[in-house]
């Protein structure tokens, strides 16, 4: 049987990660995977998470099955966090715990397919690398619409024009904040125009929330999702706890559905449970228990919010520092493009060939589309990154090697004024 398998495609992100791991150059810089790293380049366990884990260990709770919806306390806490407490949108929502945000996307895709097989789901171009594969694996049709304009900003007119072709009961997948991979988000006015279009034409918003709290702050990053939920009769939301709780390997997420009637929501919840049963039966408990402990304890909640603000501040500082260095090195257009973006990722306005040169000559690893993980840059490596980008943009430099300050190791140069940074 196995001999009949055709050569399968591989995952480009993990291929790059493997290539990075095999790279022996000490100055190598990994900006591929979307993980937060502190100024020293570590991915820390948040203090609120660590304390919650200690409490859970001391409590020695049972490992008994939780049920098809997972941890129901976690589901309630996530609905309240995303939609706000009370009888508004949260009062007409149901949720099931999932295997991280990707699991939520897949369960909701299965829900769409079971409701209306062959539904068209519109996704942004560019999009998160796993959006199309997940949707197509569930049996859905995928249609792209543009997202970024020629200047690297949000293409409001183009998005509204293309989505005006979406039909009633089509689904439009929107990232609620900190768009991956572009880092470009709609303004509040643009979000309101999208809500107007959804109400007028009857398409269903499907919001992917993976980076809330890391863009403009938790409330600001959830504002568009809450506005949409208040205005449309039906909505789907996939929530990830990987980034803002740092629970990457615990695979913690939630699928939320909003409906116009209690009956419809109950049927949707049961459909999600049935889909989970056939995929993985029940999600893992640990991460959900950690999040629930944090959100239900006033002191831990405050500690988590404070840590999240520190992470957001470091990401913003990295972006500002990189744009400052690029401007000083003569890359003003690239700096302006980056300055308009927010969140963990930025899209460098570089060609695939230029990204390849960054990797081969300067040991700087990003995707061929230009995406880099802003949240993963050690502070002292920003001048090195800026110099590499400037070299491929301006056609100068010969790569890393003797005489090139790679900014690696304890004895490496710390941040200097961009005015005195030398080209590699």
- Tokens representing 11? 């995952």
Same domain, 152 and 272: yes
Question: What's residue 399's pLDDT?
Answer: 61
pLDDT at residue number 419: 32
| CATH number where 403 lies | 3.90.1150.10
Q: Which pLDDT tens digits describe the chain residue by residue (424 residues)?
A: 988 899 888 888 888 999 999 999 999 999 998 899 998 888 999 999 999 999 999 987 788 999 999 999 999 999 999 999 877 899 999 999 999 999 999 999 999 999 999 999 999 999 999 999 999 999 999 999 999 998 889 999 999 999 999 999 999 999 999 999 999 999 999 999 999 999 999 999 999 999 999 999 999 999 999 999 999 999 999 999 999 999 999 999 999 999 999 999 999 999 999 999 999 999 999 999 999 999 999 999 999 999 999 999 999 999 999 999 999 999 999 999 999 999 999 999 999 999 999 999 999 999 999 999 999 999 899 999 999 999 999 987 656 543 344 443 333 333 333 332 322 3
> Chain centroid to CA 320: how far?
20
178 C-beta neighbours (distance < 10 Å), count: 26
β-pair type (235-240, 204-209): parallel
pLDDT value, residue 397: 66
Residue 327 has a CB neighbour count (10 Å cut-off) of 18
Using alpha carbons, select from 424, 423, 401, 398 the residue that is nearest to residue 330.
Answer: 423
Alpha-carbon distances of 191 from 184, 205, 409, rounded to whole Å: 13, 12, 44
Tokens in use for 167? 């039909």
Are the beta carbons of 369 and 126 closer than 8 angstroms?
yes
Enumerate long-range contacts of 40-48, CB under 8 Å, 24 or more apart.
Answer: 40/378, 41/376, 41/378, 43/246, 43/248, 44/246, 45/246, 46/245, 46/246, 46/304, 46/307, 47/303, 47/307, 48/294, 48/300, 48/301, 48/303, 48/304, 48/307
Q: What is the pLDDT of residue 400?
A: 53
Q: Which helix (H) or strand (E) holds 407?
A: none
| Cα end-to-end distance, the chain, whole Å | 53
Same domain? For 157 and 216 the reply is yes
Cα gap 225→185, rounded to integer Å = 13
- Whether residues 197 and 121 share a domain: the answer is yes
Three-state secondary-structure class, residue 311: helix
224 is written with which tokens?
A: 């568009």
The CA distance from 44 to 61, in Å, is: 25
User: Residue 189 in contact with residue 224, Cβ under 8 Å?
Assistant: no
Residues 151 and 20 in one domain: no
Same domain, 249 and 100: yes
State how far the Cα of 73 lies from the Cα of 87, in Å rounded to an integer.
17
Return the CATH number at 222. 3.40.640.10
Considering the domain architecture, whether residues 268 and 350 belong to the same structural domain is answered as: no
Q: Could you tell me if residue 183 is inside a domain? A: yes
Q: Which of 268, 284, 300 is the last residue of a domain?
A: 284
The answer to whether 95 touches 123, Cβ cutoff 8 Å, is no
Q: Looking at the structure, do residues 110 and 230 belong to the same domain, yes or no?
A: yes
Alpha helices in 84-163 (DSSP H): 100-115, 131-137, 156-163
Interatomic CA distance for residues 116 and 131, integer angstroms:
19
Q: At what angle do helices 262-279 and 100-115 cross, to 10 degrees?
A: 120
Decide if 306 is inside a domain. no
Contact between 156 and 193 (Cβ < 8 Å)? yes
- Between CA 142 and CA 134 the distance in angstroms is 10
- Residue 398 and residue 320 in one domain: yes
Please indicate, yes or no, whether residues 39 and 70 belong to a single structural domain of this protein: no
Q: Which of 230, 265, 284 is the last residue of a domain?
A: 284
pLDDT at 137: 95
Q: Do 267 and 369 belong together in one domain?
A: no
Give the domain extent around 27.
11-43+313-420
Look at residues 418, 362, 325, 403 and name the one whose alpha carbon lies nearest to residue 30: 362
Judge if 161 and 206 occupy the same domain.
yes
How many separate domains does the chain show? 2
The answer to the question of residue 39 being in a domain is: yes
| Domain shared by 103 and 174, yes or no | yes
In a domain, 80, yes or no: yes
Sheet holding 171-175, edge to edge: 93-99, 252-258, 235-240, 204-209, 171-175, 120-125, 141-146
């Amino acid at each position: 049987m196995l001999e009949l398998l055709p050569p399968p495609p591989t995952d480009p992100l993990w291929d790059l990660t493997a290539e990075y791991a095999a790279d022996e150059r000490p100055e190598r810089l990994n900006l591929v995977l979307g993980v937060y790293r502190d100024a020293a380049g570590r991915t820390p366990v948040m203090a609120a998470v660590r304390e919650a884990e200690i409490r859970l260990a001391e409590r020695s709770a049972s490992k008994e099955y939780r049920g098809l919806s997972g941890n129901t306390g976690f589901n309630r806490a996530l609905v309240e966090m995303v939609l706000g407490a009370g009888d508004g949108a949260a009062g007409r929502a149901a949720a099931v715990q999932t295997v991280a945000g990707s699991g939520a996307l897949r369960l909701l895709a299965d829900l769409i397919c079971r409701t209306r097989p062959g539904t068209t789901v519109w996704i942004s171009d560019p999009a998160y690398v796993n959006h199309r594969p997940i949707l197509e694996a569930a049996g859905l049709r995928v249609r792209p619409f543009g997202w970024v304009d020629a200047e690297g900003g949000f293409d409001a007119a183009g998005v509204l024009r293309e989505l005006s072709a979406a039909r009633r009961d089509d689904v439009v997948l929107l990232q609620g904040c900190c768009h991956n991979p572009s880092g470009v988000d709609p303004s509040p006015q643009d979000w309101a125009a999208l809500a107007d279009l959804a109400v007028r034409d009857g398409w269903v918003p499907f919001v992917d929330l993976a980076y809330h709290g890391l863009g403009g702050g938790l409330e600001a990053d959830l504002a568009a999702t809450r506005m949409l939920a208040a205005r449309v009769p039906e909505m789907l939301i996939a929530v990830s706890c990987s980034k803002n709780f740092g629970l990457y390997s615990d695979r913690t997420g939630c699928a939320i559905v909003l409906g116009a009637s209690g009956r419809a929501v109950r049927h949707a919840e049961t459909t999600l449970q049935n889909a989970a049963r056939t995929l993985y039966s029940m999600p893992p408990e640990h991460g959900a228990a950690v999040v629930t402990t944090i959100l239900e304890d006033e002191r831990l909640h405050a500690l988590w919010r404070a840590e999240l603000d520190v992470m957001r501040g470091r990401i913003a500082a990295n972006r500002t520092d990189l744009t400052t260095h690029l401007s000083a090195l003569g890359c003003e257009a690239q700096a302006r493009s980056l300055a308009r973006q927010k969140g963990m990722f930025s899209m460098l306005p570089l060609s695939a060939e230029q990204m390849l040169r960054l990797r081969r000559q300067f040991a700087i690893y990003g995707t061929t589309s230009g995406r880099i993980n802003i949240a993963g840059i050690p502070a002292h490596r920003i001048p090195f990154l800026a110099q590499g980008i400037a070299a491929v943009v301006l056609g100068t430099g010969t790569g890393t090697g003797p005489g090139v300050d790679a900014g690696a190791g304890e004895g490496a140069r710390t941040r200097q004024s961009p005015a005195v940074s030398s080209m590699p």
